[in-house]
Amino acid sequence: MAKYEEVKNGVIFPVGEKNEAYAQFFVGQSYLKSLIADPKVNVGVGNVTFEPGCRNNWHIHRDGFQLLLVTGGEGWYQEEGKPAQFLKAGDVIVTHNGVKHWHGAAKDSWFEHIAITAGTPEWLEPVTDEEYNKLK
């Protein structure tokens, strides 16, 4: 059994539906539950859940930022040119405008975070299996 399998049912907020809208920017299966999607508010807030081994592509937030509030499981966050950071519930990540990064689940664990995002994402190349499998 994968670690933190209970995360797949949602920790604080519902897990949401399969993240089909952004599936092309992920390796593996993710789920998305929009928590705030008000056109009068220039910030999106969503609960993102990753199956074990799932991660998003490298990406950059243009004219904005991204805050990640980890609510369950174990995962990774990495900025270009820096070592990957291991993440667990209670961790907070601040990604500033223009910083190339990726985030996702550990190989053997479900992972969930609230993503608070402003600006426009620029989706880039996938995190290769070679890069990802080096993480310990």
What residue ranges do the domains of the chain occupy?
A: 5-84+93-112
Residue 109 has pLDDT above 80, yes or no: yes
pLDDT score at 11: 83
Confidence class of residue 5 from pLDDT cuts 50, 70 and 90? Answer: confident
Number of H helices and E strands in the chain, helices first, is: 1, 10
Provide mean pLDDT across the span 29-33: 97
pLDDT score at 98: 98
Provide mean pLDDT across the span 111-122: 96
What's the angle, vertex CA 97, arms to CA 122 and CA 130, rounded to 5?
55
pLDDT score at 20: 95
**Could you give the CA distance from residue 49 to residue 127 in angstroms, rounded to a whole number?**
18
* Half-sphere exposure at residue 35, Cβ-oriented, CA atoms within 13 angstroms: 15
pTM recorded for the entire structure: 0.93
54-81 core/surface letters (b: 16 or more CB in 10 A; e: else):
bbbbbbbbeebbbbbbbbbbbbbbbbee
Which of the four CATH numbers 1.25.40.10, 3.40.50.720, 2.60.120.10, 2.170.150.70 does domain 5-84+93-112 have? Answer: 2.60.120.10
Q: Which helix (H) or strand (E) holds 129?
A: helix 129-133
Weakest-pLDDT range from 1-5, 32-36, 78-82, 129-133: 1-5
Confidence class of residue 1 from pLDDT cuts 50, 70 and 90? Answer: low
132 C-beta neighbours (distance < 10 Å), count: 20
